[in-house]
Structure 1
Amino acid sequence: MGDCIANILMYLANIGKTFASDFYNLNPKMQNLRRKLQELNAQEADVVATLIEQERHPAKRRRAVVQHWLSQVVSKRQEFESLEAEVNQNSWIWRVKLAKRADKMFEEVTKLTDQGVFPEGVVLAIRKTIKEKFVTAECKGQGFKENFERVWTYLLGNEVSSIGVYGMGGVGKTTLAQCIYNDLKNKNLFCGNIFWLTVSQDLNIHNLQKDFGKELQKDIIEDLNLELSKEDDEDKRAAKLRSALEGRKKFVLILDDVWNSFLLQKIGISPSLAKYGFKTIVISRNLQVCRTMECQKFLKVDVLSDEEAWELFMNKHSNGKELLPKVKEIAREVVKKCAGLPLAIVTMAGSLRGVDDIHEWRDALKELKESCAVQDDMENKVFPILLWSYNRLRDPILMRCFLYCSLYPEDFRINRDKLITNFISEEMMERRTSRQADFDQGHKILNKLVNVCLLEAWEGPGVKMHDLIRDMALKITKDNWMVKAGLQLKEIPEEQEWKEDLDKVSLMLNKIEEISSFTSPKCPKLSTLLLNSNPLKSIPDSFFLHMRGLHVLNLRNTCIEYLPNSILDLEELEALLLGRCLRLKSVPSLEKLKALKELDLSYTCIEEIPRGVESLTNLKCLDTSGFNLKRIPRGILQGLSLQHLSFPSDTIIPIEEVAGLKQLEEFYGGFCSTYDFNLFMKSRPSDVKLNFFEILIGGEKIVYMRNPRRGYFRVKSVIFSNGSLGEGNRGKDKIMLPQNVDSLDFYASGLCSCLFDDIQQLFSGTELKTCSLSNEKRIECIVRMPLEEEQPMAEEEQQSSLMPLHYLEDLNLSELPNFIGLIRWEVAPEVAPLPRGFFSHLRRLTLYRCWEIKKLLPRSLVQNLHNLNELEVIACVKLEEIIGDEESDESNTVITLPRLEILHLAELPELEIIYKGKIICDSIKKIHMRRIKKVSKVPFSLPPHAVIEPDVDKSVTSEGEREFLKEEREWRESLKWEQPNANRVL
């Protein structure tokens, strides 16, 4: 009883204390509230100023959340004025009630202040201009959104610099990180410096350093010298990376799939960078790894709830489209078997996509229940589901191609074309009549595997295997395959690991230097041996003695100097891949290898075609590209039926034998003259298309020629060089270009004054996408207007006549001493206006050392350049204007370049005007200007994400260099911009 009375008295005392506090502290509380509201008002003023500036651009509109916030601020301000009036008017009786209202309002104003940061920006771009790196990343579920918001809070605050995200395999940790990466990039936070590194189970600091260097090279500054491959010392590589980060300390580094902890200093990152805004996100299955990596905050990614799992399944299965009621009931049971794991749900949905028959759903559920029945551990439950999805492929070709991807290291990004080339080498697909058809089939197979979610589409032309799916594939093949790829092995596995039933062995991307003498694994059924990308110096003769069934031997990118004689006994060998064996000088006679279909000798030291090649009647691919093969003797090619042929562009070849290769579909090489080239083209059968090629005409190698890439079905280029189009070499017949050529390069070829005139005179009809001119001494312009001297053409006729240039996307002009402009008018522009759409597809225009040009772009042409993405002009010493008016000085004229992202102007001593009027360009991302001190005004209105990139070399030592940098800085600071806050934006 006494305790009860005491508690009541204490309760009453607390009430009295609170009452007294509210009564006497009303005025201080109002003062605090007034200060907080002033802070909110200042924040509102900043937001409104930003809105006014950004909403001037037609491609931007105010975000709804921003408008709602502004209305809340106004409402809160009115509410404060009302409260303040009541405080002044009411008697002491109401003080307690008013004090409580002041407390509540203080909390609400504080919340509004926190909400007014708007990390996503205050306006919304109507057209999205930034391509997402991870196109498959999806943000689903309440738990996912809460995790996402927590990470955002940590990233945008100042208290946390390192975040650990952990959870079981397949639960969605990487997807969460991918969404964060995409959003950071799209919203241009952290100055766009967002880097992604995949660490993987086998931690390799060297590879991490190399990948980080590539990321820096790509995302920070394009001409950054970060060549790390020749640097052996780990600490020196780290120092180079650290130096590259100096002055760019505000960035986010995402480390995905971390199995073992390591010091960030090893990849050039000092912990002291945290105070400047450097953030790290560590993704791992193990909480302890996150702790050891010194993460300050930890975030666990849990499995999805039942409803979240169902929503994800339906979205992946049928884009949310309702199922029939009976099917829906079974489908919900199927989803429950996935135990909330996103990887399992997505894979299951992909496998059942398009299935409507209730009988098939019942059968799927029955199989799933049986396969999952024995699994208790949550993480292991995903394996039966993945295995079930694999079994549902049914098609043996799909199954084989899927399993083949597990031969690559964990988290390896596999290039599609290289992978399909391997499918062809391994004869894993149906035989087709042409190599092009083989590649079409290969892409169809990969698309199917991506669609059923067993492979992931990766940025660029690549695919990737989730590590859990790869683990499942390795379990399927464990009895017949030995896969130890990318594990940093220094020796090959012990002989007892080489089982007699082995079919495939992958030891690629290790550190194996030697195979001991007398090593002779007994693997009579072995069909594929992948030893590529090892520092392997030699192979003992005994090694292949018991591998007589070998079909594919890949020794690419090794250090071998010679092949053992026992290789000649591999009579079933179909692919011998020795590309980039830079020390390989000779190969023994290959006469006995009658089954050989593919021989890759690219970039070796071999100077002669190996003996016996002429007798390899099954050979389809011969790659000798590189720099050492001097000639192809007569008689080598005449008996072959090659589909792919590559050789160095300056190799002396028997032209009649190359012309006799009727099945040729891929060709990389050179001809001495246009006569030889025409002879080759005239020999082409009408029913066999030359699909992909890079052909140099002119007889000599030139340094800028792209390296032929085996299996890359992209290049369709012809290069004319060394006077091959000069007056003495111009025959009566037009040059017979392949119909599908999309790139022409001219290097000191002997072109006349107008490029278009030569194209019409010399070549059969074509539609170009890329054109490059270099060291052409007579070229003055790209096209003359009008095209006919006597009578100007009608607009439709002009457009038709300019068709070869109508689809041009990339125009590169360099070292043209007499070039005066893109267009040369021979009458007044108003008499011969530009055809509609001329240059309308142009995306990239570059000029380098064109010494006579004074005005680059006529204003009448700019209206056609709505696809121009990059403009680069360097060392054109007489250039005065970038965009000039043909008529009067119209300084108030506004032009639009809606897709221009990069403007690079350098070494232009006479340039005074970029444009006299105003340029609207919401897409601009980077402006690089150097040594153009006569320019006083930049006519762009800059969006918030634009960057002006200084060209500063921190290693300057001389007084003259320092003075130059000082002058550059003073000039830059004196520039006038279209908007008053340009310096703050920059």
Structure 2
Amino acid sequence: MDLGAIVEIITRLWDCSSNRVDYIRNLENNLNTLQNARNELKSIGQDVRREIELAEEQQLEPTNEVKNWLVNVEAKEKEIDLILQKGAQVTDPNNSCWKYSKNFYKSYKIGKSLPEKVQKVEELIDKRRSFHVAAQNLKHVPAEELPLETTTVGLESTFDKVCISFQDTRVGTIGLYGMGGVGKTTLLKKFNNDFLATRNQNFDLVIWVVVSQVVDIAGAQEVIRNKLHIRDEIWLNKNMDERAVLIFNLLKKKKFVLLLDDIWKRFELLKLGVPIPDTHNACKVIFTTRSEEVCGHMEAHRRIRVECLAPQKAFELFKEKVGEETLNSHPDIPDLAKKVAAECQGLPLALITVGRTMAKKEEPKEWERVIEILKSYPAKFSEDHNINIDELLELWFGEGFFDELGDVYEARKEGEDIIKYLKLACLLDRGETEDCVRMHDVIRDMALWVACKQGSESKFVVKNASMVADSDLAKWKNTERLSIWRSRFETYYWRPEYTPKPSSVLVRDTKLHRFPHGFFSYVQPIKVLDLSHNDNLNNLPAEICQLVHLQYLNLSYTSIRTVPVELKNLTSLRCLLVNFSYILSFPSNVLSSLSSLEVFGKLMIRDEVGLHPYYDENSFLQELECLEHLKDISIMLFKVESVHTLSNFIRVQKCIKYLWLHIPNDFKFTGHRYFSRLQTLRVTYCGIPDLNWLLHAPNLQSLELIGCDLLEEVIGEDFGAAEEEEVNWDAFESLKTLELRNLPRLRSVSPQALRFPCLKNVKVKYCPSLTKLPFDSSTAKNTLEFIKGDSDWWSCLQWEDESTKDIFSSKFQIIGDYD
């Protein structure tokens, strides 16, 4: 072998050995370099993960590039950790001789791999610098399909209204309202599911929340949180307000639809964290409620009433639930089915429930029995029957429903709150006038069904426009409350073996002209007796004194002319009403003997009654003044002397709720400062120049002035100046209705503009001198429904400014002959 070849071999061997020695010699330095690179990568990885977390809170989707990078980082970190662990073993400082003599091969192998690993880490670090965003693109969260009846028969037109309103860019909030069971929730579910199929491309998400009677803010927030996919570690450490802020910051960047089912009262969307829909964010909120009033409180831009079904649609829905097989099982059943469906009065809940019950009922007798049951629980009032609120409250009071309150005034307020609540729940509807309500037949049926323990006992019997037979009495033996309206009820002999012993008897608007034989003897436990609106009834027998437990007696709108002196024995009587009857006066000391009396009503309508020479109003007022428990009075006065007498009877003044003055003589009505409970005042054909004393009637709700030729001012300007320290110039704070008719000299209601915060309607007719109303731009700002009057009168009115005129012009209506 020549010398050159030997030199080459030696050189290569040296190079090889030298490289291996370098790997071993530089092992610690290279391990430190890799450790530093690994720490930098870990730090950058943590930053990226934090960016992802923040992005996900904003509902941003991480890019695939970032996802892959994080996967590679995680794998590389594990790989490097293993290498560093092995390197730590071979570089153990406890080796005292040649440092790596025992681990020469391992040291070489590890050292050789380190430069490559460092390079890979640096490449990953460089890769992070190459992408600019960790996350992008909004997540698309579609609506979730909700379980729904396969049919929505009869809701098509209302559904179209919802869709049209939804598409209107000016409408952000839509309120669907209607009575329970009418199909509001079904309609909202149909919209949700239809939205899923056809409209979701323009919105980021749809959220469904059930609110219910007691608003659960935390529960509603939880529903929204789940829809937004907010993770536990972000959500659980926050309180309710902080969660609202989190939800708000997520939703404000989205175009969302919020569907709220079953709202009973106003609540703030912002408490949930939901931004208010407007034309800027183009978001939508649709909610259901039983009350139109709640629609106002929730500031709905569009209110849509969900009505009961029309007869044809109602029958279609009913047939669908019964099934064709049952309907075709007997030739008589289709006609019977129409009658059953008609009894459900178009209420979807009733149609569905009864329809399912009648499925597989293939015997006509079964259908006939159902018709009989539906008609007897109970017989129907017409749907438009108006229930006078005052009469209803007085009946409740007579029944003892508010005994724990201990005061008829407090009882009336409690009753008004209950009626307001029932209206909010659409269990009562507004009547034709402000002082009335109505109840849908089906709701009434259901209420009586529940009260009678689902029809097992006839504890509540209502007969309307039907013949009452002797056989009915035996069936009513255990009746607690008996109501007979517009029925024939005058010829029966009430035998003790089958005479009902109810606590309440209402016999109204019948042909009754005398009481059935034995009536007062056999109904002695009775507490409530309502005989009103019986035009033919002209006699009240002395036997009424046997009703020693009687607390409520209503003889209004009857032809009774006198009451027996024995009436004084009814010392438990708390409510006595003889409004618009022919009763002129009471026998001496009868009224003052009714020591428990709290409510008394004696209004009249016939002019000649008040002018009767034997009618002694002074004695009548004096007896009322003696009643210590009297709290609620409705009376009509015809004589100037009575007005003067009333000024001395402070207790009577404080109790008057309804006052009707019909006094043709000229007089000044002064010295009356105690009308704190006066709610209704009617002044007809009185010779009175002003009504300044109304400044002492803070609870006045209705004011009606008719035919008062001398009346120039309701409240005079000089009166306010003379009694400035005593006068409450927040006059008419409770007034809801103002009616002015045939007042030729009336030129002013008040010398200054008033707020009228509760005023709903105004009627003015034949008041030519009234050229200015006490209104300014802040008057009745959110309450006024209409002002009715003649067009000529309206065109001549003077206004504070044009803007005020514009405000009230939108409320003006031409008054009709029957208004």
Normalising by structure 1, what TM-score? Answer: 0.41
Larger helix proportion, structure 1 or 2?
2
Q: Which has the higher contact order (CA 8 A, sep 6+)?
A: 2
